[in-house]
Amino acid sequence: MKRIYLDHGATTPLHPEVLEAMLPYFGQVFGNPSSVHSFGREARRALDESREKTALALGAAPEEIIFTSGGTEANNLAIQGVAEALSARGRHLITSAVEHHAVLDTVKALGKRGYAVTLLPVDGCGMVNPGDLKQAIRDDTVLVSVMTANNEIGTVQPIEDLARICRERGVYFHTDAVQAIGNIPLNLKEWPVDLLSLSAHKFYGPKGVGALFVRRGTKLAKLAFGGGQERKMRPGTENLPGIVGLAKAIELAVTDIPARSTSMAALRDHLIASLMEQIEKVRLNGHPVQRLPGNVNVSVSYVEGESLLLDLDLKGIAASSGSACTSGSLEASHVLMACGLDHQTAHGSLRLTLGHGNTLEEVDYTVATLKESVARLRGMSSLYKSYRREVDKSRHAGEETICITKK
């Protein structure tokens, strides 16, 4: 059976050129970058070059890049690191209700340690309102963290506006840009962002490696203690194959973003339109326009998202309901709930995230498969049957009314 991968929001396949760039670092180039001999120097050179490439792709300086084990660690370092470094100045943090758990749970943990936390609400499309941020900032606010683009519904936030508000108020601004890299042009020379998280496996790089951008002069405490690696901010011998892979992947990811994201967005819009046309009672979640080029998130009434997922998987199609972390649990997505969906609608949600390898044929096959699956599942739903009866009744009622007025 041909398999179709529509879960690029969870992870992406490794780009062949990234694999090729990494291979020597699993083989002959094995030195420790901290060693002074030629083996070490060879590794150090690769580490330095990777840092330069990563910085260049972001519009940052090499010394502003700290390599981490991924997006989760980058978010933890940013939030806990700033909170601790500035704890004498203030203990108030602001984030949004739709963040990834790597941000939300970190902020919650700080809440238990005596920090005050404000969660900014979002509108029905998952957007944060800059006016709400302005109102939420207090004298003791030390950090605002709002994600660049949402992993579940794809909504892209007005990051430049939010960051500018923070800059004007002298408050640090962090953004989880894990989903944005390679999808949205992003330049840290122009964005007044102080800290930014990224993760290689979300842009065709390897898993287990990420980075935190920390603008020069930003106060940050470290979370782990040990060696002097990463300017002492992230001790431990570097994951050199991973870092080399991240650098190659980000170099490829930021090349030609406008052209590639335009064609992906066209495929996305075709998928959305086909779902809406071919299946009744489908609702698009997230923003219709300000959304990631590969993200489709829909609620299908009268079916469980999980049941749809299983059906799709049997047909070789990989999708997701909500985020990979919430699926498997019975809790409804906090993102969809924050957008104002009721529990039932949130449970009927399905996320299809496109990647560069997906084709029109795959998308059309997916829509046809979903249509069948929805019909089968609704056939077993008593709620759907009573809905249909209501629709038919009102249709008959409508006909009668027409007859009466005719008479």
Positions annotated as catalytic residues are: 325
Q: How far apart are CA 117 and CA 103, in angstroms?
A: 12
Among positions 141-160, residues that touch ligand PLP (CB under 6 A) are: 147, 151
Q: 78 and 65 in contact (C-beta within 8 Å)?
A: no
- What letter represents residue 199's amino acid? S
Cβ burial 162-171 (10 Å sphere, 16+ → b, else e): bbbbbeeeeb
Burial of 235 (0-12, 13-18, 19+ CB in 10 A): middle
Of the candidates 7, 64, 176, 238, which one interacts with ligand PLP according to CB under 6 A?
176
* Alpha carbon 161 to chain centroid, angstroms: 19
Indicate whether 70 belongs to the interface with ligand PLP (CB under 6 A).
yes
Query: Does 199 help bind ligand PLP (rule: CB under 6 A)?
Result: yes
| Smallest gap from residue 221 Cβ to ligand PLP (A) | 21
Biggest CA pair distance of the chain: 100
Residue number, 72 or 118, with CB nearest to ligand PLP? 72
In whole angstroms, give the CA distance from residue 243 to residue 51. Answer: 8
Half-sphere exposure (CA, 13 Å, Cβ side) for 286? 28
Site string for ligand PLP, 201-220 (x = CB under 6 A): -x-------x----------
Among 4, 22, 178, 243, binds ligand PLP (CB under 6 A): 178
List helix spans (H) across 215-304.
240-253, 257-278
Measured at CB, which residue is nearest to ligand PLP? Answer: 71
58 is a site residue for ligand PLP (CB under 6 A): no
**Nearest distance in Å: CB 233, ligand PLP:** 18
Region binding ligand PLP by CB under 6 A among candidate stretches 31-39, 65-73, 154-162, 376-384: 65-73
**Which of 4, 65, 66, 102 is close enough to bind ligand PLP by CB under 6 A?**
102
β-pair type (210-214, 65-68): antiparallel
Q: CB of 11: closest distance to ligand PLP in angstroms? A: 8
- Residue 369 found at the interface with ligand PLP (CB under 6 A): no
Residue among 400, 394, 54 nearest 245 (CA): 54
d(CA 407, CA 403) in angstroms, rounded, equals 6
163 is a contact residue toward ligand PLP (CB under 6 A): no
Q: Which of 106, 157, 179, 307 binds ligand PLP (CB under 6 A)?
A: 179
From 50, 54, 72, 155, residue interacting with ligand PLP (rule: CB under 6 A): 72
Binding residues for ligand PLP, rule: CB under 6 A, are: 70-72, 100, 102, 147, 151, 176, 178-179, 199, 202, 210
